[in-house]
Chain A
Amino acid sequence: MRKELKIGIGLWMVAGLAYVFLKLPAAKFFADPELARIVALHLPCAYVAVTASWMSAWHGWKYLQKRELIDDARSASGAGLALLFCALTTATGSIFAYVQWGSFWNWDPRETSVFLLMLIYCAYFVLRSSIEDIEKRGAICAVFGLFVAVMTPLLGYVIPKYLMSLHPTNTKFDSSYRTAIYLGILPPLLGMMFWIQNIALRLDRARLALEEVDYN
């Protein structure tokens, strides 16, 4: 990744965070108006988690088509990022839920869905570590990743029908929240996701090259 791009992502992130903490108004309809700002960090984490999950499935599909190990590495790092950002979404959501509704865990449907996605990606890595043959491992993990990517939207669609939602749907956020989420935090967070993946891939390329040396 180019140096200018990294500096750009860093500056954008700093600017976004500064906007969230200095400019964003406290939201009046929340139990703790000051803490409502965490929404501006919580929501982008969820979006990035879903993006990473789809990215993982897409590279898994490419691996199944072309059988190039680097695609499997891309798919795996996407799954790792999905796991990371699911954990961040759950953590920020829990803090907010504790202040707002008095309990860290409320069986809120979206909260539950993200937590289940986190469990699924934990299982993905257990599956990964239990297969020795690297080519077989790529195929199995790609199939599981694709299965997950198609079935999990059902989690988001079905579960809210059965668990009562605590997520505010009728409350009106100040329009500056939209600016903070979609312009302030989400773009640099996505940038960071690709950045992390880039680092992971360089490591994987080195590993794959080493294995090739071992073969010859």
Chain B
Amino acid sequence: MLGVGAVFLKEVRTEWRTRVALSGVGLFVVGALVLLGLGLKQAKLDRLTPGALVWVLALFTAATGLGRAFVQEAERGTALALRLYASPNAVWLGKFAFNAVLLLVLNLLTAPVLFSLLELDLASVNVGILCCVLGMGTLAIAAVFTTMAALVAQTTARGGLLAALAFPLLVPAFQAGLNGTKAALGIGLEGVKSSAWQVAGADLAMLSLYTAAAVLLSLWLFDFIWND
């Protein structure tokens, strides 16, 4: 477990030296928000649309920002040193932790901005549910993207392929997250006996199951691509 923290700290430090990923993906998010705000300025949106756009934006942010994790090791020639130093599981978990934290910060910042840009009444949002669902969904996205980034880093295509591999696999998490967001926005709760938390609880359970499966599977399979 010591290795995991060390790999995570190494990721943070190398990122902090250049801040390329952070500024790149940060500017991507700002640009996307401007485009969404401008494009939907005069559209009459229902309450569900901002909720769905948060998830679409989260997936695109991941596709933009999380691909670098293993590419830079290959480019700088540091993969071998990391291989000697840490176990494959520690490497995967450290990278996953870094990706998850990066994505979590971005998503928790963009969601309220997007909601206010699209003129959703912020007071009517159940913040607790939204944070839980978005947090859990972010873990699922980060887990799948970390493994797919490790695969893509070995190819000549790199850029475009990451989203093609990860998006279809992430559809179950997307569906569950979207349903939980609906509960946080109070959609579809009329005439339902259970409370918003109970409705979202089923989605949270689904997201946890998905994330656990993705993490365990990644830990099992990562050895084969890392030690080649």
A residues apposed to B, CB below 8 Å: 64, 112, 116-117, 119-120, 122-123, 126-127, 130-132, 135-136, 139-140, 142-144, 146-148, 150-152, 154-155, 158-159, 161-163
Known pairs A126-B161, A127-B155, A162-B178; list 14 more (Cβ under 8 Å).
A64-B224, A119-B168, A120-B169, A123-B168, A127-B157, A127-B165, A136-B154, A139-B225, A144-B151, A147-B217, A158-B176, A158-B210, A159-B175, A161-B206
Complex Cα gap A214–B26 (Å): 49
Q: Nearest Cβ in chain B — how far from A157, in angstroms?
A: 8
Complex Cα gap A158–B175 (Å): 8
Q: How many A-B residue contacts, CB cutoff 8 Å?
A: 85
In the complex, chain B residues whose CB is within 8 Å of the CB of A155:
171-172
B228 engages A136 (CB within 8 Å): yes
Complex Cα gap A152–B214 (Å): 11
Q: Majority SS of interface residues in chain B?
A: helix
| A151 touching B213 in the complex, CB below 8 Å, given contacts A130-B157, A159-B171, A162-B179 | yes
Binary per-residue interface labels of chain B (123-167) against chain A in the complex, 1 for a CB within 8 Å, 0 otherwise: 000000000000000000000000100011011110001001100
Q: Name the residue on B nearest A156 (C-beta).
A: B172
In the complex, chain A residues whose CB is within 8 Å of the CB of B175:
158-159, 161-163
B residues apposed to A, CB below 8 Å: 147, 151-152, 154-157, 161, 164-165, 168-169, 171-172, 175-176, 178-179, 206, 209-210, 213-214, 217-218, 221, 224-225, 228
| A147 touching B147 in the complex, CB below 8 Å, given contacts A116-B171, A154-B210 | yes
Q: Nearest Cβ in chain B — how far from A28, in angstroms?
A: 34
Q: Can you name 29 A-B residue pairings with CB atoms under 8 Å?
A: A119-B168, A120-B169, A123-B161, A126-B161, A126-B164, A130-B156, A130-B157, A130-B161, A132-B156, A135-B228, A136-B228, A140-B151, A140-B155, A147-B147, A147-B217, A147-B218, A147-B221, A148-B169, A150-B213, A151-B213, A151-B214, A152-B169, A155-B171, A155-B172, A158-B206, A159-B171, A159-B175, A162-B176, A162-B179
In the complex, chain A residues whose CB is within 8 Å of the CB of B169:
120, 147-148, 151-152
Closest 6 CB pairs of A and B: A130-B157, A158-B172, A130-B155, A162-B175, A123-B164, A119-B168
